[in-house]
Structure 1
Amino acid sequence: MKTSSKTPAKTPKLHVKTGDTVIVVAGADKGKKGEILKVFPEKQRAIVSGMKMAKKHIKPTAEQPQGGVIEIEMPIHVSNLMHLDPKSGEPTRIGRKKDESGKTVRYSKKSGEIIK
């Protein structure tokens, strides 16, 4: 029996969440730090405050009567982001483990500290 190629793929678990502090490790904004504003798990991308700025032309509307050109943040692929260690502030990998109550938590592989 042939399986359908149109079955939806499972969205992967990402190492970043909204509100995390990250550093960009590749691209034009390499080395800059910022906070994650929004995550798109299905596309494996995240919007980081102040990173990958692009100009967008806006038509005049009721909210923006002048219209014009504004700068907005564009999504960055999560492979270009690394979490910052809560203790030292250095880039670190993220691991998952169960805490005392049996809940899965994220932790810093560098210092072992749990990431909220």
Structure 2
Amino acid sequence: MVIAGKDKGVTGKVLDLDAQRILVEGVNRVKRHTKETTGDRGVKVGGIMTVEASIAISNVMLVDEDGKATRLGARKDENGKNVRISRRTGKDI
């Protein structure tokens, strides 16, 4: 869920993740101008295309199973492995 910016409140599927940037489906749509060329079989490719652009990872939060935004936490399970938990509910993710 996006928590800041022009798409605040929108939820979407994560398409790509970088160290500080994230690409979310349907969020931060921008227009890209590409040179029109002839592709395979004489089909023209190019023009003005609308694509998703990345946003800062600090502007998104994970959505819990009940549809509300939550922060992440960590704890160790009985085997000593780290497990991600929801800070809002305390349940494992």
| TM score, norm. by length of structure 2 | 0.85
2:26 to 30, 50, 54: 50
Q: Which has the higher strand share?
A: 2
Alpha-carbon distance in 2 for matches of 1:110, 1:46: 23
Tell me, which stretches of 5 or more residues in structure 1 are unaligned? 1-22
The Cα offsets for residues 15-69 of structure 1, whole Å up to 9 and x where unpaired, read as: xxxxxxxx1111000111111110111xx11000000001112222526633211
2:67 to 89, 104, 107: 89
| TM score, norm. by length of structure 1 | 0.70
> SS of the counterpart of 2:78?
coil
Alpha-carbon distance in 1 for matches of 2:57, 2:70: 14
Alpha-carbon distance in 1 for matches of 2:67, 2:79: 28
Contact 2:75 2:84 in 1 (8 A): yes
Displacement over 3 Å in runs of 4+:
none
Tell me, which stretches of 5 or more residues in structure 2 are unaligned? none
- Map residues 1-116 of structure 1 onto 2, 5 A cutoff: 23-41=1-19, 44-59=20-35, 60-62=37-39, 65-86=44-65, 88-115=66-93
1:72 CA drift (Å):
0.8
Task: Give % identity.
Answer: 42
Alpha-carbon distance in 2 for matches of 1:46, 1:90: 19
RMSD: 1.6
Alpha-carbon distance in 1 for matches of 2:56, 2:38: 32
